[in-house]
Amino acid sequence: ASTAGPAAALPAVPPGAPMTMAPTASAGSLMQTILALVFVLALLIGLAWFMKRYGPKVMGGNAKMRVVSSLNLGGRERVVLIEVADQWIVVGASPGRINALATLPRQEGDLPALATAQNGPAAANFSEWLKQTIEKRNGK
């Protein structure tokens, strides 16, 4: 009967020799760590997409501002009528720039036909009004 105990079962390592693990154990552990990292990153990206798509909308800061109407002029250009407190601001928006075109006192009631029709008679009236306003502004 041997009295050496559990230490006798381990192979002898010469002093100063580096201790190494089996190559398969470290490769498996590395692969498991990489897969866990990929899973966590995919989970974070999926959660960010879900929150952007279905999450709570920003509230508060724009409570006194709303878009009354919008009219597309071209591929990426549009004219927007914005209500801010007691006035309406006509804004021209393009990809690289936003310009205030005119400021009006708030009209009684909204422009419901203009807000619902994009290319109907109300939109044509708005277009005519905008054209006249711009011509007045430019002094023509």
Supply the pLDDT for residue 119: 47
Supply the pLDDT for residue 48: 94
Supply the pLDDT for residue 16: 67
Q: How many CB atoms lie within 10 A of CB 88?
A: 18
CB-CB contact of 71 with 126 (8 Å): yes
Supply the pLDDT for residue 32: 94
Encode pLDDT of 92-134 as tens digits. 888 888 888 888 887 776 554 444 444 455 556 777 777 787 7
**Model pTM above 0.85:** no
Sign of CA dihedral 20, 23, 25, 26: positive
Determine the Cα–Cα distance for residues 111 and 79; give it in Å rounded to an integer. Answer: 15
User: Stretch 25-36: mean pLDDT, rounded?
Assistant: 89
- For residues 108-126, one letter each, b for 16 or more C-beta atoms within 10 angstroms of the residue's C-beta and e for the rest, the string is eeebeebeebeeeebbeeb
- What are the backbone dihedrals phi and psi of residue 104, each rounded to the nearest 5 degrees, phi first? -130, 155
Q: Which of 27-31, 38-42, 104-108 has the highest mean pLDDT?
A: 38-42
Every domain of the chain and the residues it spans = 20-56, 65-138
Distances (CA, A) of 27 to 11, 37, 40, 69, 118: 23, 15, 20, 61, 62
Mean pLDDT, the chain, rounded, equals 76
Look at 128 and 81; give whichever has higher pLDDT.
81
Is residue 45 over pLDDT 80?
yes
Biggest alpha carbon distance in the chain? 115
Residue 68 tokens, joined: 């009354």
Supply the pLDDT for residue 17: 62
